[in-house]
Amino acid sequence: MTLPDLAPLVLTLKLAALTTLVLLLLGTPLAWWLAHTRSRWKPVVEATTALPLVLPPTVLGFYLLVLLNPQAPLGRWWLTLTDTTLTFSFAGLVVASVVYSLPFTVQPLQAAFEAVGRRPLEVAATLRASPLDAFFTVATPMAARGYLTATVLTFAHTIGEFGVVLMVGGNIPGQTKVISIAIYEHVETINYPAAHTLSAGLLAFSFLVLLFVYVWNRRYPVHLR
């Protein structure tokens, strides 16, 4: 019995973990701003954030490829800084995954922050808590369910990426060959047993993730202000 190649699995988990961490750091202030701002630009920012939900992955991947290539300002800056390219590299996959999974982090966090409301923060302010202190000691614990949902969905969505990572990273073993690319390669080479094994694993994982989120949300509903 031939053992399956675990390199795509390890690379996929590494990509999903790093993407989730980056998006939690970047998505938190954006979601907080969206939850509390009254700016007329809010709909524009919300629409931009949600674009990956409706854009075909190949369209998003194509424009990311244009943006990240060594001839573009960002790609040229990265090449000068690291002597490596963003395209067809793991770093490029991280950038692409952050963009592609952005709404799966921001939207749950925005909903959680909106559910918290302003009153708990106002109460914290009367107790002389600074805005930053109130955020970490009051808003963040109260939005814990949103953080859990955002983390789980972002991680799972990154694992299932295909079109974007193929466009930006290609199929380089050990660098950009993630599980979805490995499945595609197995199908192309008519290795259906291997493709079935990986596909069944992703199917089971995706179902369990969604089941967990729905059960959690049903058991711990948000009480709006």
Cα separation, 97 vs 20, in Å, equals 9
Give residue 220's pLDDT band: very low, low, confident or very high (50, 70, 90).
low
DSSP per residue, 166-211: HHHH---TTTT--HHHHHHHHHHTT-HHHHHHHHHHHHHHHHHHHH
Beta strand residue intervals within the chain, DSSP E: none
pLDDT in tens, 19-69: 999 999 999 999 999 999 989 999 999 999 999 999 999 999 999 999 999
Whether residue 150 contacts residue 27, with contact meaning beta carbons closer than 8 Å, is answered with yes
Give residue 130's pLDDT band: very low, low, confident or very high (50, 70, 90).
confident
Mean pLDDT computed over 108-132: 86
Whether residue 222 contacts residue 112, with contact meaning beta carbons closer than 8 Å, is answered with yes
- The overall average pLDDT reported for the chain is 88
Cα separation, 138 vs 96, in Å, equals 33
Q: Which amino acid is at 107?
A: Q
pLDDT attached to residue 224: 39
pLDDT in tens, 59-103: 999 999 999 999 999 999 999 999 999 999 999 999 999 999 999
pLDDT in tens, 148-206: 989 999 999 999 889 899 999 989 988 999 999 999 999 989 988 888 888 888 888 88
Beta strand residue intervals within 24-120, DSSP E: none
pLDDT attached to residue 100: 95
Whether residue 87 contacts residue 167, with contact meaning beta carbons closer than 8 Å, is answered with no
Give residue 1's pLDDT band: very low, low, confident or very high (50, 70, 90).
very low
pLDDT attached to residue 70: 92
Residue where the block lists tokens 């302003």: 118
